[in-house]
């Protein structure tokens, strides 16, 4: 069992919350207390059919897909991945305190662009989805960007009960599908990961497709591009992608054995509380 993804998942959400406790918890647990007391039932194994491995020279980035939020995009990305579309392409953009992005550097040149094969060139925008049917763990604190924020099956998410919609929140590690000016101009061939302060202004403006659960440090340390929007100006600065593979297509022995903490449990509620108001001895306030 690896604790790291759980810590990371937590880091994704707390910036959305606040520190104004309304009532004291029954007992003041630290995060470590909560993790130590967790049981196997508090954890889940990633679904290999919904897990991508982005393989770089520096290591593997593990991405959990969110078909419940972007079914058409996730389906298309899986089709692209299984056809080896991304293998040998590159990371083309690293903008400080914002995102790292990869895809086909020649994608806009019809003569040079890599063919999409069985994948679709055109998809509907999937910015939001109906809130109904989602098990949503609401965080107790106010958020500036949405009426409610919390978690859906591990993913940091937001919800507008009045409008009856939900969406993935742009947090550290959130993965989205880059688009041009048209709302429906993304198809999953251009993907980005948030590597800075939660850019929540992107929420409901772009299709989010998943989140990084391990290895984001292979992306967050990449040299920042000096061109507009952090694109690399020289082809030689781009970072080669060895391959993107679906975990299900990787021999079991080569898979990353990861469990992540469930976000619909009492243990997770305790974990959130331990992070809303820190109980560790170091903290004065």
SS3 76: helix
Residue closer to its own copies (CB basis): 90 or 185 = 185
Among 73, 129, 159, 200, binds its own copies (CB under 8 A): 200
Q: Per-residue x/- mask for its own copies, residues 209 to 238, rule CB under 8 A?
A: -------xx--xxxxx--------------
The string of DSSP codes covering 215-246 is -THHHHTSPPP-SGGGB-SSGGGSEEP-EEEE
CB of 40 to its own copies, least distance (A): 26
The single residue listed with the structure tokens 């550290």 is: 172
Length of the chain: 285
Between 79 and 237, whose beta carbon lies closer to its own copies?
Answer: 237
DSSP 253: G
DSSP 127-155: S-EESTT---EE-SS--SSSSEEEEETTE
Candidate segments 36-44, 115-123, 201-209, 243-251, binder of its own copies by CB under 8 A: 201-209
* Residue 14 or 246 with smaller CB distance to its own copies: 14
Build a one-symbol-per-residue string for 85-124: x at contacts with its own copies by CB under 8 A, - elsewhere.
-----------xx---------------------------
The size of the interface with its own copies (CB under 8 A), counted in residues, is 41
Residue 127 in the binding site for its own copies (CB under 8 A): yes
The order of strands in the sheet holding 148-152 is 129-130, 165-168, 155-160, 148-152, 137-138
Q: Distance between CA atoms of 4 and 225, rounded to whole angstroms?
A: 29
Report CA torsion sign: 205, 210, 216, 221: negative
- The answer to whether the beta carbons of residues 196 and 94 sit under 8 Å apart is no
Least distance from C-beta 149 to its own copies, angstroms? 10
Integer angstrom CA distances of residue 54 from 187, 190, 206, 212, 269? 18, 13, 21, 10, 31
Cα(229)–Cα(94) distance, integer angstroms: 8
CB of 213 to its own copies, least distance (A): 13
Between 1 and 19, whose beta carbon lies closer to its own copies?
Answer: 19
In angstroms, give the least distance from the CB of 137 to its own copies. Answer: 18
Question: What residues from 153 to 192 belong to the interface with its own copies (CB under 8 A)?
Answer: 171-172, 181, 183
**Contact between 138 and its own copies (CB under 8 A)?**
no
Residue 85 contacts residue 119 (beta carbons within 8 Å)? yes
Work out which of 141, 148, 160, 264 binds its own copies, going by CB under 8 A.
Answer: 141
Q: Smallest gap, in angstroms, from Cβ of residue 15 to its own copies?
A: 5
Q: How far is the CB of 41 from its own copies (least distance, A)?
A: 28
1 vs 20, which CB is nearer to its own copies? Answer: 20
The Cα–Cα gap between 100 and 172 comes to 11
| Residues near its own copies, by CB under 8 A | 11, 14-15, 17-20, 96-97, 127, 141-145, 171-172, 181, 183, 196-198, 200-201, 203-205, 216-217, 220-224, 275, 278, 281-285
């Amino acid at each position: 069992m690896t604790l790291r993804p759980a810590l990371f998942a937590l880091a994704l959400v707390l910036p959305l919350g606040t520190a104004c406790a309304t009532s004291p918890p029954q007992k003041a647990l630290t995060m470590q207390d909560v993790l130590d007391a967790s049981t196997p039932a508090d954890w889940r194994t990633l679904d290999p059919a919904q897990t991508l491995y982005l393989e770089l020279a520096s290591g593997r980035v593990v991405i959990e897909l969110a078909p419940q939020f972007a079914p058409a995009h996730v389906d298309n990305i899986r089709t692209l991945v299984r056809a080896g579309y991304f293998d040998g392409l590159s990371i083309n953009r690293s903008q400080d305190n914002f995102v790292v992005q990869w895809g086909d550097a020649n994608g806009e040149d019809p003569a040079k662009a890599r063919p999409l094969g069985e994948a679709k060139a055109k998809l509907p925008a999937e910015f939001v989805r109906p809130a109904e049917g989602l098990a949503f763990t609401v965080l107790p604190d106010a958020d500036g960007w949405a009426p409610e924020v919390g978690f859906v099956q591990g993913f940091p998410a937001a919800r507008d009960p009045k409008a009856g919609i939900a969406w993935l929140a742009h947090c550290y590690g959130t993965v989205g599908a880059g688009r041009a000016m048209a709302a429906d101009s993304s198809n999953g061939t251009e993907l980005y990961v948030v590597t800075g302060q939660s850019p929540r202004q992107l929420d409901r403006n772009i299709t989010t497709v998943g989140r990084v659960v391990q290895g984001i440090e292979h992306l967050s340390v990449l040299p920042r591009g000096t061109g507009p929007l952090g694109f690399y100006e020289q082809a030689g600065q781009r970072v080669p992608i060895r391959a993107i593979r679906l975990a299900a297509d990787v021999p079991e022995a080569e898979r990353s054995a990861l469990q992540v903490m469930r976000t619909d449990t009492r243990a997770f509620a305790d974990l959130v509380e331990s992070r809303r108001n820190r109980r560790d001895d170091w903290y004065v306030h």
